[in-house]
Structure 1
Amino acid sequence: MTAPRMGAQEWGLLILLSLLWGGSFFFAKIAVVSVPPLTVALLRVALAAAALHLVRLSLRIDVPRDFGFWRDAFIMGLLNNAIPFGLIFWGQQAIGAGLASILNATTPLFTVLVAHLFTKDERAGFTKIVGVLCGMAGVAVMIGSEVLSGAGSHIAAELAVLGAALSYGFAGVFGRRFRDRPPLVVASGQLTGSSCLLLLPVLLLNQPWKLGLPGLEPALAIIGLALLSTALAYVIFFRILKRAGSTNLSLVTLLIPVSALMLGLLFLGEVVEPHHLAGMALIASGLVSIDGRIWRVLRPA
C-alpha cells in the first residue's frame, strides 16, 4: 500500500486550515468573556453542524442511513471535539495559553506514534520523526521560554492538555475510515455527534437557561467560530485526511501558532521578535523533513 504524500494542493489546504484554526483563538477570546467555555464549545459545533446540513441539503447530498456511519461519526465527534475541547478548557483554568499551545503542539508526535501502531501505510520513519521533533522545538522557541516558568506546577492541567493532543492523534487515525465518504457528509456527521455528546454536560454544568443573552461582539465571535473555524475548517480537514493521511494532517498543529502570530501582526499590531522568526524557521525545516522530497533529492542515486 502506498504511503500518503502531500502535494501542492494539500499544502495549500493545510495552510488555509491553520489560518482558520489560528483565527479561532481570536473568536474564542471574545466569546468566553460572556459565555461559559463549555457552552461556547457546544454552540460552536451545533451551529457548524446546522450550517453544513443546510449546505448538504442545498446540494441534494443524502445523509447516510447506515448505523455504521453514525456510530463512527459519534466516535469521531468524541475523539476530535468533545474530549479534547473539554480537557483543554479544563486545563486552561490553571495554565496559560502559551504553555497549553506547546503541549497541544505534541499532536503530530502522538499521531505519528498512533499511526505507526495501528496502520500499515503510515509507519514512522527517521525523517518523519526528525521533522516532528524539529516542528515541536520550533513551536517552543516561537512562543518563548517565559511560558515554561510555571511548567510542572500544575501537573493535572498539563496532563489534561496532553490528553487532548493524544485524543486528536487517535481522531486523525480513526478518521481514515471515512476516506470513501464525501468530506461534507463526514464533517456534518462528526459535528452532529459531538453536539449530541456535549449537550448533556452543558445542561448539567452550565444551566444555559440561567445565562443572559451575550452582547453583539460575543455573538458574532461565536458565529465566526462556528462557520469559519469549525464548519469550513472540518470540510478542509477531512479533505486533507482523505488525500494525505493522518500524520500529514496533524502538521496543522505546528502551523497554527505561526498563523496566530501572523494574524496578530496584521490585525492587532503585535510585534514579531527574533525568537518568533527562529521558531518559524525550525517549523519550516520540520515540515520539509516530513514532506520527504528534499531527502529524496539529496539521497545518492
Structure 2
Amino acid sequence: MLDWRLRFGLLSLIWGFSFLLIKVGTQAYAPLQVTLGRLFFGTAVLAVAMVVKRERLPHGVRTWGHLAVAAFLLNALPFSLFAFSELTIPSTLAGICNATSPLWGMVLSLVALSEDRPTRRRVAGLGLGFLGVLTVLGAWQGFSGLDARGTALALLASLSYPVGWIHVRRTLAGSHHSHLSMTGGQLLLATVQLAVVTPVFTSIPAHFPVVPILAVVTLGALGTGLALLVQYGLVHEVGPTTAQMVTYFVPVIATAAGVAVLGESLAWSTPVGAVIVIIGAALTQSRPRRNTPSTPDGDATARDGGATASGRRPQS
C-alpha cells in the first residue's frame, strides 16, 4: 500500500481537479446529466468495493429514509448546484466557494448542535473566512464582472454540506453499519434521485463528444468513488484531524488547474482571498485540547465529493 502521504497528495489532486472536470463536462452536457453520470460511476466503484469486501447494503426503513435525506443534501443537491454554477463562473471560483463549507458549518453547528461552543479562535476564523470570500469576489469593486447567480449557486452548494452533516450526525452517527455500506447506499439513492429528475428537465444530447464523457466518467469513478475509498483509508490510518487537512489543499489545486489547463483568468484578489478563506476555515475547525483521546465525529471534513452517511465529507 502507498504511504499515507502519497495517498493524501493523491486525494488532494483528485478533489482539486474535480472542478475542472465539472467544467469540461458541462461544456457538452446539461448540469443534471453531468451529475447523474458522476453519481452513477461513483456508485459503480463503491459497488465493486462492496463485492470485493463482501459488504451488504444497510437494512431498515428508518435507515434508508435518513440516507435518502443525506443523499439529497450531501450529493444530489450540491453536485448539481456546482455543475449549474460552472455554466457561468470559472472552475477556480467554484473551488474556492467550496472551501467555505467549514465556515457555514460553524454557523449552523452553533445553532443546531448544543455541544458546540464558540471560542475566540473559532469566531475569529469565521470573520476572517468571510473576509476572504469578500476579497475573492472583489467587494470593493462592487462585484463587477462577477456572475451573481453562478456564485450564489456555488455558495449554496457549499452550505448544503454542513446542513447534511448535521442531519447525519443527529440520525445516523450511531449506526452499526460500516462506512462503506452506508456510503454505498447513500450514493445509490442519490443516483436514483437524479435518474428520476434528469429526464424531466433535460433532453437526450444530439451528440456525444468524447472528452466531456471521459471527464464525467473520471469525475465519478475517481473524484467520487475512488476518492471515498482513499479517504476512509486515511481516516483509519492517521485519524480524521489529519485527513481533513486535505480540504485546505483543494482550492489551491482547483485554482492552479483552472488557470493552467482551462486558461481561466486570475486576478490578484483570487489567490489572496483563497488563502484568507483557508486560514479562516482552519481556525473554525480548531478544538480545545482534551486530556482524553477524541473520537472521530461528524465534523471531520476531508471536498468536492460531498459528505457521506458516515459523517465524513469528501469534496466535489
How far apart are residue 195 of structure 1 and its match? 0.7
Aligned to 2:179: 183
Give the Cα–Cα distance (whole angstroms) in 1 for the partners of residues 12 and 131 of structure 2: 18
> Alpha-carbon deviations, 1:111-133, whole Å to 9, x = none?
11222222244333221232233
How far apart are residue 139 of structure 1 and its match? 5.3
| Change over 3 Å in CA distance of 1:58–1:38 after alignment to 2 | same
Aligned to 1:203: 199
| Change over 3 Å in CA distance of 1:53–1:124 after alignment to 2 | farther
Q: Normalising by structure 2, what TM-score? A: 0.70
Establish whether residue 22 from structure 1 lines up as the match of residue 24 from structure 2. no
For residues 196-275 of structure 1, the aligned pairs below 5 Å read 196-208=192-204, 211-212=205-206, 214-235=208-229, 244=240, 252=247, 255-264=249-258
Aligned to 1:149: 144
Aligned to 1:3: none
Aligned to 1:117: 111
Aligned to 2:164: 171
| Change over 3 Å in CA distance of 1:236–1:189 after alignment to 2 | farther
Aligned to 1:299: none
How far apart are residue 285 of structure 1 and its match? 3.7
How far apart are residue 244 of structure 1 and its match? 4.3
Residue aligned with 1:148, SS: coil
Residue aligned with 2:220, SS: helix
Give the Cα–Cα distance (whole angstroms) in 2 for the partners of residues 270 and 167 of structure 1: 26
Give the Cα–Cα distance (whole angstroms) in 2 for the partners of residues 172 and 200 of structure 1: 24
Contact 2:133 2:277 in 1 (8 A): yes
Residue aligned with 1:63, SS: coil
| Change over 3 Å in CA distance of 1:14–1:68 after alignment to 2 | farther
Number of positions where the alignment pairs a residue of Structure 1 with one of Structure 2: 279
Q: Normalising by structure 1, what TM-score? A: 0.73
Residue aligned with 1:124, SS: coil
Counterpart of 1:194 (choices 182, 187, 190) is: 190
Aligned to 1:289: 283
Note the residue ranges of structure 2 that are not aligned, 5 or more in a row.
290-316
| Change over 3 Å in CA distance of 1:131–1:239 after alignment to 2 | farther
Give the Cα–Cα distance (whole angstroms) in 1 for the partners of residues 46 and 163 of structure 2: 24
Contact 1:178 1:186 in 2 (8 A): no
Q: Please provide the CA RMSD for this pair.
A: 3.9
Aligned to 1:46: 40
Contact 1:105 1:165 in 2 (8 A): yes
| Change over 3 Å in CA distance of 1:45–1:106 after alignment to 2 | same
Deviates more, 1:105-114 or 1:196-205: 105-114
Deviates more, 1:138-147 or 1:162-171: 138-147
